[in-house]
């Protein structure tokens, strides 16, 4: 969920990033005090194919996977603001149409980003961002636009699927193959008590025994009944029974209006 630094341990990559930071006026990543942290994996997931979740994309920083996201128009991606707020578009691209994290599919550059103006890096509230791509996604069995949850859908009692390429266990490697886990909605009041009042109206809570989403999955889609209901956002620990995973609540009026307005303004056929 909030993403850890994507810097590689490879010395050449470190020098390259340092050089880019020194000579670019674009925003660079930084640690943000107070942001809730997670361990960085889909826990308890299983291998899946992109044809089963063709809305899933890999959001890349310097051509390496950093977060997830979903296709909401042929030229628009929905992700988490904490995945993009510290990065200039020069460094960002999207890989779509592949089950494998770092190969296959098609890569498109990001032309514009629209982090929610009310995003709060301390509370992780309003954690959504929309990316406009430099080209159009070619729709196929491996690349499809995901429906947004209908506005009349009631909150509570839902099962959902979360997908991504987050690391498989603490300090472990990230999988090359796309992962999926089924999770279940936690009561808002119960979740709020677990997080001591930090759950806002723009957040929903999901959990399952031994299953969860984490940092490498940040920005990725939470889907129920074939429609996206959430965006992977934050939480404490991973698959910790005391703390559900927290997702940006797409059906919240403020977030939904922001997303739909940008689709109306920028989506192309």
Centre a 10 Å sphere on the Cβ of residue 244 and count the other Cβ atoms it contains: 25
Cα separations (Å) of 182 from 49, 50, 65, 120, 128?
Answer: 15, 16, 22, 28, 22
Cα–Cα distance for residue pair 105/93, rounded to 1 Å:
13
50, burial (CB in 10 Å: exposed 0-12, middle 13-18, buried 19+): buried
Q: Name the token pair of 148.
A: 């947004």
Cα–Cα distance for residue pair 261/124, rounded to 1 Å:
22
Cα–Cα distance for residue pair 221/247, rounded to 1 Å:
9
Angle at 251 between CA 247 and CA 257, to 5 degrees: 115
Centre a 10 Å sphere on the Cβ of residue 103 and count the other Cβ atoms it contains: 8
Backbone angles phi, psi at 20, to 5 degrees: -60, -40
Q: Which residues carry out catalysis?
A: 82, 127, 218
């Amino acid at each position: 969920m909030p993403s850890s630094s994507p810097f590689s341990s490879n010395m050449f990559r470190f020098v390259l990033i340092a050089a880019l930071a020194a000579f670019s006026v674009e925003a660079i990543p930084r640690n943000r005090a107070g942001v809730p942290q997670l361990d960085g994996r889909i826990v308890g997931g299983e291998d899946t194919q992109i044809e089963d979740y063709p809305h899933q994309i890999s959001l890349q920083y310097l051509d390496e996977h950093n977060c997830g996201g979903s296709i909401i128009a042929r030229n628009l991606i929905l992700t988490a603001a904490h995945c993009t707020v510290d990065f200039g578009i020069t460094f960002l691209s999207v890989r779509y149409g592949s089950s494998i994290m770092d190969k296959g599919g098609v890569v498109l550059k990001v032309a514009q980003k629209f982090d929610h103006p009310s995003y709060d890096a301390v509370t992780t509230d309003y954690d959504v961002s929309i990316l406009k791509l430099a080209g159009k996604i070619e729709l196929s069995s491996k690349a499809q636009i995901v429906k947004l949850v209908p506005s009349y859908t009631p909150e509570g009692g839902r099962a959902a699927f979360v997908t991504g390429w987050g690391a498989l266990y603490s300090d472990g490697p990230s999988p090359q193959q796309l992962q999926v886990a089924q999770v279940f909605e936690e009561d808002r009041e119960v979740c709020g008590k677990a997080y001591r009042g930090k759950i806002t109206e723009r957040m929903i809570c999901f959990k399952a025994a031994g299953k969860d989403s984490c940092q490498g999955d940040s920005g990725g889609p939470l889907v129920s009944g074939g429609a996206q209901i959430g965006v992977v956002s934050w939480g404490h620990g991973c698959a910790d029974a005391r703390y559900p995973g927290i997702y940006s609540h797409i059906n919240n009026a403020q977030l939904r209006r922001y997303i739909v307005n940008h689709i109306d303004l920028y989506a192309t056929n």
